[in-house]
Amino acid sequence: MEKKIKIIEHGQGWICLEKPGGMSVHNDPGRDLLSDLQKNLGPGITEILQPVHRLDKETSGLLLVATDRGTLTGLSDLFAGGKVTKRYKALVHGHFDQDQGTWDTPLTKSAGGRTDPRGRGKRVKALTRYRVLDHSIHYTLLDVELFTGRKHQIRRHAKLAGHPVVGDSRYGSPRALEFLKTEKQFESMGLHSYFLSFKDKGRTVTLELPDLPPEIERLFESDKA
């Protein structure tokens, strides 16, 4: 079934989209998110269509796309300078002993793997803070804020903490993934970008998409019974 791309808000030089989980941003020409957006906007409407920040293929939620080069430079500088508030909802395995905490294990700038989430080579500062929102029998729903921007940062920190993101095919266990697929018919990943806040031409822009995608919500609620 084709996934329809929703425009959440637009400003001068940018568009905010709701990215479905499982859809590549720009690595699948003709079928990815930017191709879909270009079809809907039509030719010649924008100078460029360029994502301002990264969102993994499996992750759903808010994505900022620049429509002119000046805005792309300005917003990219805000993200690189840590001047954008980025929050996610993450459904992870297991329970927590405390209601909030910090993950600060240094990570490589490139992706890690299931057996070595930190990554090989030089590791740099990585800071993630979490707060417990709710829990079910097997899972916990977290509100997560990113203070640095390492690739797969939430997914890697969650794995290192012993609480991998539910449905994470790269860092989760094959056994858990097989159970989710065969017993729960769940083939998504429990990570949702729901909050962005930044300064844009003198005003504060706050973008929110608080509801979990239906497939994640269904899995979480069914585990409460």
DSSP string, 162-223: T-PBTT-TTTS-HHHHHHHHHHH---S-SEEEEEEEEEETTEEEEEE--SPPHHHHHHHHHT
Specify whether 97 is located in the same domain as 146.
Answer: yes
Task: State residue 46's pLDDT score.
Answer: 85
Co-location of 135 and 188 in the same domain: yes
Length of the chain: 225
Q: Is 105 within 8 Å of 160 (Cβ atoms)?
A: yes
The label of the residue with tokens 């203070």 reads: 147
Whether 52 and 117 map to the same domain: the answer is no
Which CATH number do you get for residue 59?
3.30.2350.10
Domain limits for position 136:
85-225
Token pair of 21 as six digits: 């989980």
Would you say 150 and 126 are in contact if contact means Cβ atoms under 8 Å apart?
A: yes
Residues 6+ apart with CB under 8 A from 58: 21, 22, 167, 168, 169, 188, 189, 191
- For 74, the token pair is 């300005």
Beta carbons of 224 and 91 less than 8 angstroms apart? no
197 contacts 205 by C-beta, under 8 angstroms: yes
Mind telling me the catalytic residues? 56
Tell me, yes or no, whether 103 and 64 share the same domain: no
Per-residue pLDDT of the chain (225 residues; tens, 9 = 90+): 355 688 999 999 999 999 999 999 987 777 889 888 888 887 777 889 999 999 999 999 999 999 999 999 999 999 999 999 999 999 999 999 999 999 999 999 999 889 999 999 999 999 999 999 999 999 999 999 999 999 999 999 999 999 999 999 999 999 999 999 999 999 999 999 999 999 998 899 999 999 999 999 999 999 997
Q: What is the pLDDT of residue 47?
A: 87
Question: pTM for this structure?
Answer: 0.93
